[in-house]
C-alpha cells in the first residue's frame, strides 16, 4: 500500500489517495461570517494541489462561541449558497471535502466579549497569558442539550451545502475535549466522573449526526491521542474512546494531541531534527490502531514524503498535513511527480510554549492569507513579525465581531440585517503585511 493508493471508507466512498489537508484556523470569514471569496480562493489552491481529502478549518456551530474573530459560522441556512460555492470549489480537484465542526468551550478569547461555557468553571492556566481567556460558566443540562442539537444541525447543513462529510472536533482542548479531560471536567453528574460519562456528550453527538445524515456522508472524529498534562486525558483514555466509537458509523478518526495549555500539536513543542520526531503522534496512533475498527489518520508535523509513506506503511490509513500544505498547497502533486519538497517555516525557539504556539499559528496564517490573495507564500517570515501582524489583525477582527453581535444578534434574530464588517480583503492585507 502506498501514499497514492485509494482508501475505501466504511461508508463505501473512496478517497483517491492517503494525503489529507488537515484543518487550520484560517479566520477568513466574510461580513456575515460565511466563507469569503479569499477563503474559497485558498481552497481552490488545495483542490488543485492533489490532496485526496481536504478538511476545513473550524466552522463554528454557534455564533456566540468562537475560537477566534473572523471565524466561519454555520448555524442556519441564511448564507448556504456561499457554503455551496466553498464545497464545489474544494471538490473541483477530485478530492473529498469535509467540514470540521467545533465549539471552543473555555478556549474563546476574552476579546470576543461573550459568555464562555465549559464542563466546569475552571479557567485556562496559561501563566501570564491566562487573562486572555475568561473564567467559564459550568454548563447546565439545557446548555449541553443545545450544543448537541447545534452540532447535529450544522452537520445537516454541511450535507445540504454539498460537503462529503464532517469532522467533529474533540481534540486540542476545545469543548468536547474539555468534557473528555478530568482536568477540565469536574462534574459529578452524568457527564462527569468516569470516562464513560465524560465521553457521553461526544458519543451522543456522533450518534445524532450519523442518524440524521445519508449513509454515504462521512462522519469523522478528531481526537487527542493524549493532552500531555499530568492527570489529564491519556493514551489509555484515547484507546477506550476509540473502542466506544466502534459501531457508531464513524468513517475515520484523526489523532492529534495537546491543547492551548499544553500545545503539543504545535511545532514549538517538538524536536524536528530527526525523521522519527516529524510524525509526532505516529507511535500513539500505532497503539490505538490495535483496537480501532475504523480507519485512522495521524496529523502532526509531517512535511516529508518518506515520513508520510512510513505513516501509511505502519498501518495508518491517512497522513494529515497542515503547515506543509500552507506553504506548498501543490505538495501532493509534486510528490507524485517525483519532487522531494519538504516545506518548513523558520524554527521557533521561544521558551514560552503558549506564545511560541501562537507565533507558529500566526506564521501559518500569514501563508494562508497570501494564498487567499493570490500571492506566493513566504515561509521565511519572521515569527515575531507574523505574531505582531496577527495580533493587529485579531484586534480589528474582534471589534468587528463584537459590533456584528451587538447590532444583529444573529443567534436570536436569524435574518436580521447585519452590520458591515471590514472587508475580508482589507483585513487579510493587514495580516499579510500589505498595510
- Output the domain CATH number for residue 333: 3.20.20.70
pLDDT for 127: 84
* Number of structural domains the chain divides into: 1
* b/e map 186-207, b = 16+ CB within 10 Å: ebeeebbeebebbbbbbebbbe
Give the DSSP H/E element, type plus range, for residue 305: helix 305-313
pLDDT for 280: 67
pLDDT < 50 regions, the chain: 265-276, 412-435
Domain assignment present for 411 = no
pLDDT for 227: 73
Task: Supply the DSSP symbol for 196.
Answer: H
**Alpha carbons 426 and 295: distance in angstroms, whole number:** 41
Domain assignment present for 365 = no
Domain assignment present for 359 = no
Answering whether pTM is above 0.85, one says: yes
Domain assignment present for 190 = yes
- Cβ atoms < 10 Å from Cβ of 286: 16
Domain assignment present for 219 = yes
- The phi, psi pair for 100, rounded to 5°, reads -85, 125
Domain assignment present for 366 = no
pLDDT for 264: 58
Give residue 77's domain range.
7-345
pLDDT for 278: 61
Beta-carbon contacts of 92 under 8 Å, excluding residues fewer than 6 positions away, are 44, 47, 48
| CA nearest neighbour of 95 among 244, 235, 218 | 218
Domain assignment present for 64 = yes
Task: Supply the DSSP symbol for 227.
Answer: -
pLDDT for 262: 66
Domain assignment present for 431 = no
- The phi, psi pair for 307, rounded to 5°, reads -70, -45
Torsion angle defined by CA atoms of residues 404, 73, 187 and 173, in that order, rounded to the nearest 10 degrees:
-110
What ranges make up the beta strands (E) of 12-52?
14-15, 19-21
pLDDT for 205: 98
Amino acid at each position: 500500500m502506498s501514499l497514492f493508493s485509494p482508501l475505501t471508507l466504511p461508508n463505501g466512498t473512496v478517497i483517491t489517495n492517503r494525503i489529507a489537508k488537515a484543518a487550520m484556523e484560517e479566520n477568513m470569514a466574510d461580513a456575515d461570517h460565511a466563507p469569503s471569496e479569499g477563503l474559497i480562493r485558498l481552497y481552490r489552491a488545495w483542490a488543485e494541489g492533489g490532496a485526496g481529502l481536504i478538511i476545513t478549518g473550524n466552522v463554528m456551530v454557534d455564533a456566540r462561541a468562537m475560537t477566534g474573530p473572523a471565524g466561519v459560522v454555520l448555524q442556519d441556512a441564511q448564507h448556504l449558497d456561499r457554503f455551496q460555492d466553498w464545497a464545489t470549489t474544494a471538490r473541483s480537484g477530485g478530492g473529498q471535502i469535509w467540514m470540521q465542526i467545533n465549539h471552543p468551550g473555555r478556549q474563546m478569547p476574552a476579546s470576543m466579549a461573550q459568555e464562555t461555557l465549559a464542563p466546569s468553571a475552571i479557567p485556562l492556566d496559561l501563566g501570564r497569558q491566562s487573562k486572555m481567556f475568561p473564567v467559564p460558566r459550568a454548563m447546565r443540562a439545557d446548555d449541553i442539550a443545545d450544543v448537541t442539537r447545534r452540532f447535529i444541525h450544522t452537520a445537516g447543513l454541511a450535507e445540504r451545502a454539498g460537503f462529503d462529510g464532517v469532522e467533529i472536533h474533540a481534540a486540542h482542548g476545545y469543548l468536547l475535549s474539555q468534557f473528555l479531560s478530568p482536568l477540565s471536567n469536574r462534574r459529578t453528574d452524568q457527564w462527569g466522573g468516569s470516562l464513560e460519562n465524560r465521553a457521553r456528550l461526544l458519543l451522543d453527538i456522533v450518534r445524532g449526526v450519523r442518524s440524521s445524515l445519508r449513509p454515504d456522508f462521512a462522519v469523522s472524529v478528531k481526537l487527542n491521542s493524549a493532552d500531555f498534562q499530568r492527570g489529564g486525558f491519556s493514551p489509555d483514555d484515547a484507546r477506550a474512546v476509540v473502542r466506544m466509537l466502534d459501531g457508531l458509523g464513524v468513517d475515520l478518526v484523526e489523532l492529534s494531541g495537546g491543547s492551548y495549555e499544553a500545545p503539543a500539536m504545535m511545532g514549538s513543542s517538538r524536536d524536528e531534527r530527526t525523521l522519527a520526531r516529524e510524525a509526532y503522534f505516529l507511535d500513539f496512533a500505532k497503539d490505538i490502531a490495535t483496537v480501532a475498527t475504523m480507519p485512522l489518520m495521524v496529523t502532526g508535523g509531517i512535511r516529508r514524503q518518506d515520513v508520510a509513506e512510513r505513516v501509511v506503511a505502519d498501518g495508518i490509513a491517512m497522513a494529515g498535513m497542515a503547515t506543509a500544505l500552507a506553504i506548498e498547497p501543490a505538495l501532493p502533486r509534486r510528490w507524485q511527480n517525483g519532487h522531494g519538497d519538504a516545506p518548513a517555516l523558520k524554527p521557533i525557539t521561544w521558551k514560552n510554549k503558549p506564545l511560541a504556539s501562537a507565533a507558529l499559528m500566526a506564521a501559518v496564517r500569514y501563508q494562508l492569507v497570501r494564498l487567499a490573495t493570490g500571492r506566493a507564500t513566504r515561509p521565511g517570515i519572521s515569527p515575531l513579525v507574523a505574531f505582531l501582524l496577527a495580533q493587529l489583525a485579531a484586534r480589528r477582527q474582534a471589534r468587528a465581531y463584537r459590533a456584528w453581535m451587538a447590532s444583529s444578534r444573529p443567534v436570536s434574530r436569524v435574518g436580521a440585517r447585519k452590520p458591515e464588517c471590514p472587508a475580508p480583503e482589507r483585513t487579510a492585507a493587514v495580516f499579510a503585511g500589505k498595510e
